[in-house]
Amino acid sequence: QLQLQESGPGLVKPSETLSLTCTVSGGSMSSSSYFWGWIRQPPGKGLEWIGSIYYRGSTYYSPSLKSRVSISGDTSKNQFSLKLSSVTAADTAVYYCARQSSSYTSGYFWGQGNLVTVSS
Amino acid sequence: QSVLTQPPSVSGAPGQRVTISCTGRSSNIGAGYDVHWYQQLPGTAPKLLIYGNSNRPSGVPDRFSGSKSGTSASLAISGLQAEDEADYYCQSYDSSLSGSVFGGGTKLTVL
């Protein structure tokens, strides 16, 4: 049974880098059938796609965040990570890791989410 | 502003039927990419409700149905129940952005 679990600090200072890791269990990141992605949701607002990584390491980022985002993967640990630099209060959100089929024909399977607050 | 457009809110009485629209453009829904729908209860992660425009994952009641036509898609909920009160989001892929796009979400109130 697939499970995704986010981990990382719940509080980040302005101008610093937000770092989160998603651990995958019950499935393999080495499969060519899936993208592994990050999605965020500011308090009281809607969902925003941040970016995704494919099993071969190809990455895809939201144009609005591209200059500050980096997603990497470690198939040996079955983990993938998010780094978002130069954060501000506007980056305060619940960050979800999620899996979607590489053909875009299935919806996302989600982790439980990790609230990250940007504050000094 | 979200790439996919949804009404901010809809409401209905128990037992009634409601629909939620999701309007996109030629680079996403209109290009033939599938639309997926999620239900989000307060304080929880989104849950997949409909995938591939009209398919229900195991465990989702058949009161929930989805359709797609042209650059739009719709989620229909029949036989409304109090437990259906939640936020609903549509999602697709956009070729011009090379990534996923979401609707702004629709809050369903069961009167």
- Sign, CA torsion A68/A70/A71/A74: negative
- pLDDT, position A103: 83
The alpha carbon of residue A31 is apart from the nearest alpha carbon of chain B, in Å, by 19
pLDDT tens column, B29-72:
999 999 999 999 999 999 999 999 999 999 999 999 999 999 99
Edge to edge, the sheet with strand B64-69 lists: B18-23, B72-77, B64-69
User: pLDDT in tens for each of the 120 residues of chain A?
Assistant: 999 999 999 999 999 999 999 999 999 898 888 999 999 999 999 999 999 999 888 999 999 999 999 999 999 999 999 999 999 999 999 999 999 988 888 999 999 999 999 999
pLDDT value, residue A56: 83
Rounded Cα gap, residues A109 and A98, in angstroms: 5
> Which segments of chain B are extended strands (E)?
9-12, 18-23, 36-40, 47-50, 64-69, 72-77, 86-94, 99-102, 106-110
Return d(Cα B56, Cα A77) in angstroms, integer: 32
Interface mutation target, options A65, A97, A108, chain B, most CBs of B under 10 Å: A108
Query: Tell me: the pLDDT tens digits for B12-29?
Result: 999 999 999 999 999 999
Per-residue confidence (pLDDT) for residue A101, from 0 to 100: 87
Mutate to test the interface with A, among B5, B58, B100, B107 (most CBs of A within 10 A): B100
pLDDT beyond 90 at B73: yes
